[in-house]
Structure 1
């Protein structure tokens, strides 16, 4: 008997490419602008699980990376069906979702982008890559029991398109409290096959399999009933904090995730990891959020496609103790057009004010651990003849930009430079000279000069002049696609892969060479959008 129960979904069920919207609990209002665009597709195919759920997740990722375009190109473009979050517990503090049959817009964009990559383009019409992945997985399995399973006969008939993983409070380092939801097309076949698969693992305790609303719920032994009871009390999709965070994120593409730092930081420490969560996003945008964000707030992310690039987008919300830091990354856009790679950090002077107590404590702990005296900060001040944090604020300024122009790197000293927009550029210039003197740097190793509120530093006088003259890097198509608008950025990075390709010609061959040639640029853009809130994007642009 099938254990599946039919129920309405909050999004379309067939024949449409409209974005999916999580059902909000009764009385809850959608207060965050934007739509949740977790596309909802019904039946389909994903790679199968081997001995443990994590291998299933890995297979789905590999299917997307190695040839998912083939499946996307031939699957129907409509989106319907429920999401894993609808059958996972609402008390989860971490969630990861993979979907190889996303919305119509994502499918079209994915095919267009992946078609630029030679390794993927050749497989767009080569059939279902998930079968190949299953064959590789079962072939590599040391357990002969697993190798007996046939993808066509045992896996394909029931496997759906989506996988979701939730981590709940209460686990231990040896037995984390996790649940994996695998979309299925045939409840009975799915439960039977998964049960037999997990039984092949003789090294540990077999996982439990439950069926709920078109999903196989896989949990560690002894936790299945409690997991389903928690879902009955309220699913993750009915958690208003989760739904509003994902709504603020927007289109959730082929992969999305969510992490509640308020609960998760403490829980992960119990599991033996995440002791470093307090330093989340120390650079740029998240500089003012660092320690506070690790203790409070949420993080949501999505991997999604545009025709010209693939993007990892993220949003931090609810880190209320972190104050907004105004950013301005336009100094990156005004670099010379021959720039190969560049990084800018804006608002560091404000971030230092907020984060110095925690950073000073970390520095002092380094001294106590043997790297210096107990007063490590005082030792640094004395050795370099500086005053912390005041001089550090002057050196990093309102904006700090590091740049490398295109070059062959055959000279003894590579060309590299920096420009600082400072509240006291002359003092910053004097500090550079003093630090060079105190550290024993050779005379003339750096050229540094002041122009108004800007300090220019470079390894050659010519490049210092180039930085001072500026340019229109931001007007290039590669920059616009990879980085986008930097007018409010706290941190931004740009790498021109065409120039990197020119640099490594003759040294990279075969697939690595063709892959590099198929890419155009990489960009990162991060901004503080309000007290306790921030966004970032990481984009890889196709050529």
Structure 2
């Protein structure tokens, strides 16, 4: 346990990252990278030659300091072409890695990683590119790969950014992908990459463009370069709009067009999206992929207090969800170790049920039984009506701080704010019977309080101020309008697992303070999400 994290202050550096062509400019920042502490004002100059000398000196100082400031920002800004500038605009999926991100991200990363020295020492060093090379090649058994030396064959041309795009039309055996690697010497890069991919019997098509080497499966190079000539991903207005809405793209960013990509990945044999098929054989979309639409953009980025995976969903099928209300979450007892909160589920189910019921019916075809009918029969419920009542306008589960190593005394509880609290209480009773009668519950107005310990029911009714605690605020920020929230105070539960850890692993885990995530519906078919890991 450590002292509470001080109140979060704005990022000390403006966003100096790349802005895609045609994207709205980033808002001006009121902070900057300080070059020196303020100096005392010099005494007023006397008239005459002293004033002339002061003017000349001032101009010289301005030029010197201005040039120094420009140089400093250039060293921090992460300026230059991005992989999206050279990858084809018809791609439906894109992932980018940038070890030269914006100034603010570099400063934030240094501050955050200072809280995790073991992780910092692993990720940082004189040349992080070498670490990436070692990571990629450490399991390479081919002696051909081992003949390439990083210092002489790779380092002289390897840049600091890379991106991969996946295009329509690929097959299981030959996905239609393109890898863009930033290079400082296109000729040397093409030569070295040619040797590297010659180690693979299939080889690769390798081209260069605008400071990047493009690596593509054999036989796809010409079509990919033709697609690039028609327009790059950075010129795709849908992509740039989504990435602009995302904001700071951090060290890793990704974009996926679900409308096109879901069926394309199904054709590539991705089992999660449908049954695998024959390579190159198109098929009708499955029930799962047919309902997918919209895009997702996400970024892994740093703050001085946490590392965050943040993202936006745009153009998705609109869900009839009520504005989020986390009042029942923030009012949990102060000693809450973990909590899960869902808001507006009763309304969301109305629009989500057709898709959900179709998926359940598909399971019926696989199992040979009526899945929905079996659920209704076993639990004596009517779907989706009773599900709406049970999840209610607000559904909150919570875990108080306790010794989790003592299984017999495990305590967990929850609160349900429902339009029919009496019915919700009866449903809780029915579910409790299927679990062997472990719950205590009480109905108070429109709220059902339940727990495995009667004393915790009383604590939930009394409430607290979890939302005002430093750990909660650092982990989740403002979640007042969130529709879903997960919060875990690692410091309150670490005694359950620290004893099994040793050495650097234990030190890293002890350096972590909390984990939290949230999702918020921001408009019809639009949402934002965040997952944070906070350091001590």
TM-score, normalized by length of structure 1? 0.81
The answer as to 2:432 corresponding to 1:436 is yes
Contact 1:293–1:319 (CA<8 Å) still a contact in 2?
A: no
Number of matched residues? 469
Residue 379 of structure 1: how far off its partner (Å):
3.3
Contact 1:36–1:248 (CA<8 Å) still a contact in 2?
A: no
Counterpart in 2 of 1:390? 385
Residue 357 of structure 1: how far off its partner (Å):
2.3
Residue 131 of structure 1: how far off its partner (Å):
2.2
Q: Secondary structure at the match of 1:198?
A: helix
Unpaired segments ≥5 residues, structure 2: 1-13, 30-71, 275-286
Counterpart in 1 of 2:157? 158
Q: Deviations over 1:219-266 (max 9, x none)?
A: 011111211111111110000000011001111010111111111111
Give the 3 Å change call, closer, same or farther, for CA 228–414 of structure 1 in structure 2. Answer: same
Contact 2:324–2:520 (CA<8 Å) still a contact in 1?
A: yes
Residue 133 of structure 1: how far off its partner (Å):
4.6
Give the 3 Å change call, closer, same or farther, for CA 167–419 of structure 1 in structure 2. Answer: same
Contact 1:92–1:166 (CA<8 Å) still a contact in 2?
A: yes
Choose the corresponding residue for 1:229, options 221, 226, 229: 226
Q: Secondary structure at the match of 1:351?
A: helix
Report which stretch shifted further, 383-392 or 171-180.
Answer: 383-392
Report which stretch shifted further, 125-134 or 157-166.
Answer: 125-134
Counterpart in 1 of 2:89? 90
Q: Secondary structure at the match of 1:474?
A: helix
Give the 3 Å change call, closer, same or farther, for CA 197–478 of structure 1 in structure 2. Answer: same
Counterpart in 2 of 1:57? none
Distance 1:424 1:401 in 2: 16
Choose the corresponding residue for 1:336, options 333, 337, 341: 333
Give the 3 Å change call, closer, same or farther, for CA 440–298 of structure 1 in structure 2. Answer: closer
Residue 388 of structure 1: how far off its partner (Å):
1.7
Give the 3 Å change call, closer, same or farther, for CA 231–132 of structure 1 in structure 2. Answer: closer
Distance 2:451 2:441 in 1: 7
Counterpart in 1 of 2:180? 181
The correspondence of residues 352-431 of structure 1 with structure 2, limited to 5 A, is 352-370=349-367, 373-374=369-370, 376-409=371-404, 410-431=406-427
Give the 3 Å change call, closer, same or farther, for CA 139–536 of structure 1 in structure 2. Answer: closer
Counterpart in 2 of 1:503? 496
Residue 125 of structure 1: how far off its partner (Å):
7.1
Give the 3 Å change call, closer, same or farther, for CA 430–33 of structure 1 in structure 2. Answer: farther
Contact 2:321–2:347 (CA<8 Å) still a contact in 1?
A: no
Counterpart in 2 of 1:522? 515
The answer as to 2:475 corresponding to 1:482 is yes
Residue 387 of structure 1: how far off its partner (Å):
2.0
Unpaired segments ≥5 residues, structure 1: 1-15, 25-29, 38-72, 278-289
Give the 3 Å change call, closer, same or farther, for CA 511–495 of structure 1 in structure 2. Answer: same
Choose the corresponding residue for 2:313, options 307, 310, 316: 316
Give the 3 Å change call, closer, same or farther, for CA 276–128 of structure 1 in structure 2. Answer: same
Give the 3 Å change call, closer, same or farther, for CA 384–323 of structure 1 in structure 2. Answer: closer
The correspondence of residues 276-287 of structure 1 with structure 2, limited to 5 A, is 276=273
Residue 17 of structure 1: how far off its partner (Å):
6.5
RMSD of aligned alpha carbons: 2.6
Counterpart in 2 of 1:346? 343
TM-score, normalized by length of structure 2? 0.82
Q: Secondary structure at the match of 1:301?
A: strand
Distance 1:157 1:256 in 2: 26
The answer as to 2:129 corresponding to 1:130 is yes
Contact 2:19–2:25 (CA<8 Å) still a contact in 1?
A: no
